[in-house]
Amino acid sequence: MNKRSLLQSALALALVSGFSASAMAQDKPLKIGVTGGPHAQIFEVVKKVAEKDGLKIQVIEFSDYVQPNAALASGDLDANSYQHKPYLDQQVKDRGYKFVSAGYTVNFPIGIYSKKIKSLNDLKQGAKFGIPNDPTNGGRVLLVLQEKGLIKLRPEAGLKATPLDVIDNPKKIKFVELDAAQLPRSLDDLDASAINTNFALSAGLNPGKDAIAQESAKSPYVNLIAVREADKDKPWVAKLVKAYQSEEVRKFIQTEFKGAVIPGF
Q: For residue 75, tell me if it sits in a domain.
A: yes
Name the pairing type of β-strands 79-84 and 222-228: antiparallel
| Residue 139 lies in domain | 111-214
Residues 97, 228 share a domain: yes
pLDDT digits (tens, 9 = 90+) for 101-141: 999 999 988 999 999 999 999 999 999 999 999 888 999 99
Residues 204, 154 share a domain: yes
Residues 198, 67 share a domain: no
Residue 201 CA to residue 186 CA, distance in Å, equals 15
pLDDT digits (tens, 9 = 90+) for 148-194: 999 999 999 988 899 999 999 999 999 999 999 999 999 999 999 99
Confidence band of 232 (pLDDT split at 50, 70, 90): very high
Average pLDDT of the chain, as a whole number: 90
* Tally of domains within the chain: 2
Listed residue (119, 131, 113, 124) closest to 175, CA to CA: 131
Give percent above pLDDT 90 in the chain.
77
Residues 118, 209 share a domain: yes
What spatial distance separates the first Cα and last Cα of the chain, rounded to whole Å?
59
pLDDT digits (tens, 9 = 90+) for 13-23: 444 444 333 33
- What is the value of pTM for the model shown? 0.70
For residue 233, the number of C-alpha atoms closer than 13 Å in the C-beta half-sphere is 1
CATH code assigned at 131: 3.40.190.10
Residue 133 CA to residue 160 CA, distance in Å, equals 11
User: Helix or strand or coil: residue 99?
Assistant: strand
Which residues, 6 or more positions from 172, have their beta carbon under 8 angstroms from its beta carbon? 125, 126
Q: For residue 24, tell me if it sits in a domain.
A: no
Q: For residue 1, tell me if it sits in a domain.
A: no
Q: For residue 4, tell me if it sits in a domain.
A: no
Residues 192, 166 share a domain: yes
Q: For residue 19, tell me if it sits in a domain.
A: no
Q: For residue 136, tell me if it sits in a domain.
A: yes
Residues 157, 192 share a domain: yes
Q: For residue 68, tell me if it sits in a domain.
A: yes
User: Helix or strand or coil: residue 7?
Assistant: helix
Confidence band of 1 (pLDDT split at 50, 70, 90): low
pLDDT digits (tens, 9 = 90+) for 83-112: 999 899 999 999 999 999 999 999 988 999
Q: For residue 157, tell me if it sits in a domain.
A: yes
Residues 236, 171 share a domain: no
